[in-house]
Amino acid sequence: MKNLKKITAAVASLVLFANIANAQTAIPTSYQVNEVANNATPFAVKYIGSDDEYVLFEVSVKSSNPADAKFQLTDSEEGALYSAGFKTGTVKTIKIEKREGQVLNFTLLLDHKIYSKSFSVSTSEVENTLVSENDITKL
């Protein structure tokens, strides 16, 4: 009975992730945050992928204003994981240890505006990683 439940869960996951993969190839993917005041927002976070124990993200800061930006990465359970000052034009790859149910918040303070993106990480028994994305801009 236990094996039947595991097999059913694995098949359901396979069908679900196959549909997600098919949908991702059919729809153009953009990880850019919505535009604000006819200018692209200066903050982008792109999920690159994962390996056995880590998830990888690419963080880029692009702005016409050469001001320094303050960046912070937090985990909903662990608190602050990384904090740094970024110059505009910076692109950085960040590698984070993967945990089940993890919620990662990427925050950028630039020109007295706060840009925030949130990612949640879910792993399954068939070794798939699902990352979902949310973004918030406070003016």
Judge if pTM exceeds 0.85: no
Give the pLDDT mean for 10-29: 52
**Residue 10's pLDDT band (cuts 50, 70, 90):** low
Q: Residues 29-53, buried b or exposed e (16+ Cβ, 10 A)?
A: eeeebeeeeeeebbbbbbbeebeee
**Residue 100's pLDDT band (cuts 50, 70, 90):** confident
| SS3 state at 139 | coil
Give all strands of the β-sheet with 68-75 in edge-to-edge order.
79-87, 68-75, 102-110, 113-123, 129-138
